Structure 1
């Protein structure tokens, strides 16, 4: 629960900031940067409904309205005077609502939820983002910015040189903010340093008050007038510049229930794991690209048999040669059309298990690898890996590749004899959940799959909504 006394002080401070727009240089830069990231993340999609939290005087709102004039934008803020200033800026083209972002009282779904430089004011930011995530439509974007550790470092140093502790808030480190991502969402954080020059130390203090950002850290002791003058002198001697370290996050909700199953190698057991997941979740199955049909009937009939006749979507491409999809298609004189590689939306009430071809760096088309498709589809990834010798390098490299693309990882499945040492190393070094350990089976039948499926988590435990 929010500290109501501190929340009230923050609200009063922003309400009293009558000269906010004249002073809000960094806030304006951050709003523009956040909007540009939102625009990139939307990838040409026009949001129909937008919720903005902590809209302030409408610096970000103005960008949203200019880009998407037909969108239904709901601008919210905890401070009523801030809402009034936003309305003065934007008029009736936007809807307004007084709301604490920590306890939203609006109804979704929204295609975009965003807020500029608000998360640092919230006591439980990860919880707030999870709550907001529930208001997003499938495939919706959640985009926020926050101040990070390193903000006001020059002022803090000046205070320390005088034997004082700065009253500036404690801001999160980027590594901690990475943990705020809602479960199963793709995306992540980036940071930017914005340096602002001031005439002197007192000018900086007045600036904080003018922007409503002067609420001190809880439990801090105010500087006396003499102490403040000494700190201001130290600050001036150091150059009168302040760094604002801003973190920007864009998270995307999966477009539907489901996972993307890939492996550290071909023949690693992806199809067996896919069948187990479909059986466990009573889900649906899609093998978008199938090759090697000259030697076998393919993975779709196999899963259909082993998982109890689940709904299966037709592959977008099926080829004879046991090669990568791109090479197999070229061997038949055809080219895979990326426009056909669209995530099925049928059976929307069932989790969809999408099985990739080979590993992450297998060419799917002349221009796309399997990891590109995983990123495009936006489903959390289940990585299937061998349990024995050699798995550590392959598995940890695959996890590193997924995280470099900011793709959500649901977990790892280890295939083969139990190996406690490798399991522990992958879980610890890879910072990943081990979903199941699937032993070698001499014969794979529907009954065997039914028993193996019990080793896997239920859907709600796997990807909580």
Structure 2
């Protein structure tokens, strides 16, 4: 492998970290916390254990050990920039279900895909984090998870403050904020970064600097010029007078690759035009249609019948409709309708059941709005998160849409749901469109005229021509 000077320094420093296990206490704690996040995410999404795991920046194997304990039947490839670290990890953990390789996590040379790609406190050493994440995303199998921890803004703030007070250039990198990290994640998959602050007691500044060197984590940012000994002593003296601890702002992130090509259509309200928009999408993309939860069939014909009557496939056949999981008579939320009809449904059984071919596109239509109750303890938002497809949010164009749209977008973003775009229904309102795009950061992908009646296949065909191609929407 050929590295630039900065990467060579990182590699060299970690290769000479002969006392890593003794001093890397925070690293061990963070690996344990990350493993907890991984297990919680698998449970929340109802995913089976990963068959293939890729670990980036394994070090001496803190996270490696936890992965093998919790996923004993998984095959794991663990890579690190440092050959010395790989040798140590191999000594600590061996077996037929694990392989180690000296490799740059930013520029991998591997074949195949992985159900889980993970990394603990490695990404802060990446030269181009956003580009690296995009490349790692490509290694995920459909429905696969990426989970990582990294240092974030606020780490070593006490040392930075000491440098600032003494007017000395600080060798601590500027770590990213949570907002920066969230802005860098792949747009088409669900995901979210959050953070916590860990406090590590230190005897004095000298002990802190020596501990960093002992674990190989003392590489200054590229372009940093070392300060004089006298300047460093002044910083150390200030630190010792004011602090006896250091803060680690640790970010934990996850994102999930969509399990198949498709979108989940939801809205800010009921009767907002989700079915018409779904029909236009099915027409535009020649897609499959699925309505997992159907209510109100006693009063109106089911939505799949509307799709069948409005969509025309290019081959002349009827659109492919996948069967609903739950069909209820009352025009209520699924939860209320089930109570009235004395039916029950376990959300644990809810999965993306349709088997789609590689070139199929699936359009899923939700029931009601984002926060509609599905069961006693779950909302439609939980179903969207579990399915793993990006959302198309259908909203009104007129008065009142700003409040409903902003709240719906906030609700989706708060749990890491990706929003591919917004469709506005009704007479175009340029001021509302501008406000929604500016305040949400989500693109308006179409503005469709609202039609109370008289919707025909020709109407849907015309609407479909105003929609972007699927690969353009999710790129």
Q: TM-score range by the shorter chain?
A: over 0.9
Cα deviation for residue 230 of structure 1 reads: 1.3
1:146 pairs, out of 128, 150, 153, with: 150
1:155-184 CA-partner distances (Å, limit 9, x unpaired): 111111211111111211111011122122
Cα deviation for residue 325 of structure 1 reads: 2.1
3-state DSSP of counterpart to 1:229: helix
3-state DSSP of counterpart to 1:297: coil
Partner of 1:305: 309
Q: 1:338 to 1:91 in 2, by over 3 A?
A: closer
1:348 pairs, out of 354, 357, 362, with: 357
Cα deviation for residue 298 of structure 1 reads: 1.2
1:342-421 matches, within 5 Å, as 342-349=351-358, 350-421=360-431
Asked if the contact 1:126/1:179 (under 8 Å) is kept, the reply is no
Asked if the contact 2:295/2:337 (under 8 Å) is kept, the reply is yes
Would you say 1:121 and 2:125 are equivalent positions?
yes
Would you say 1:454 and 2:465 are equivalent positions?
yes
Asked if the contact 2:427/2:450 (under 8 Å) is kept, the reply is yes
Would you say 1:37 and 2:48 are equivalent positions?
no
1:40-189 matches, within 5 Å, as 40-43=40-43, 45-93=48-96, 94-189=98-193
Unpaired runs of 5+ residues, structure 1, are: none
Q: 1:124 to 1:446 in 2, by over 3 A?
A: same
2:330 pairs, out of 321, 341, 345, with: 321
Asked if the contact 1:289/1:316 (under 8 Å) is kept, the reply is yes
Partner of 1:444: 455
Cα deviation for residue 286 of structure 1 reads: 0.4
Would you say 1:264 and 2:268 are equivalent positions?
yes
Cα deviation for residue 341 of structure 1 reads: 3.5
Partner of 1:282: 286
3-state DSSP of counterpart to 1:101: coil
Asked if the contact 2:372/2:380 (under 8 Å) is kept, the reply is yes
Asked if the contact 2:322/2:354 (under 8 Å) is kept, the reply is no
Once residues 202 and 327 of structure 1 are traced to their aligned partners in structure 2, the CA distance between those partners, rounded to angstroms, is: 64
Asked if the contact 2:260/2:356 (under 8 Å) is kept, the reply is no
Asked if the contact 2:351/2:386 (under 8 Å) is kept, the reply is no
TM-score normalised by length of structure 1? 0.96
3-state DSSP of counterpart to 1:76: strand
Once residues 148 and 107 of structure 2 are traced to their aligned partners in structure 1, the CA distance between those partners, rounded to angstroms, is: 16
3-state DSSP of counterpart to 2:27: helix
1:219-298 matches, within 5 Å, as 219-298=223-302
1:192-225 CA-partner distances (Å, limit 9, x unpaired): 1111122221221111111111111222221211
Partner of 2:205: 201
Deviates more, 1:135-144 or 1:436-445: 436-445
Paired positions, count: 463
Asked if the contact 1:140/1:253 (under 8 Å) is kept, the reply is yes
Cα deviation for residue 109 of structure 1 reads: 1.4
1:63-112 CA-partner distances (Å, limit 9, x unpaired): 10111111101010111111011111112352111111111111221110
3-state DSSP of counterpart to 2:193: strand
Cα deviation for residue 404 of structure 1 reads: 1.6
Asked if the contact 2:158/2:243 (under 8 Å) is kept, the reply is no
Once residues 208 and 341 of structure 1 are traced to their aligned partners in structure 2, the CA distance between those partners, rounded to angstroms, is: 47
3-state DSSP of counterpart to 1:222: coil
RMSD: 1.6
Partner of 1:435: 445
Once residues 207 and 443 of structure 1 are traced to their aligned partners in structure 2, the CA distance between those partners, rounded to angstroms, is: 73
Deviates more, 1:418-427 or 1:214-223: 214-223
Q: Which runs of 4+ in 1 moved over 4 A?
A: none
Once residues 326 and 113 of structure 1 are traced to their aligned partners in structure 2, the CA distance between those partners, rounded to angstroms, is: 36
Cα deviation for residue 337 of structure 1 reads: 4.3
TM-score normalised by length of structure 2? 0.94
1:317-354 CA-partner distances (Å, limit 9, x unpaired): 22222222222333333223435533233233311111
Once residues 338 and 158 of structure 1 are traced to their aligned partners in structure 2, the CA distance between those partners, rounded to angstroms, is: 52
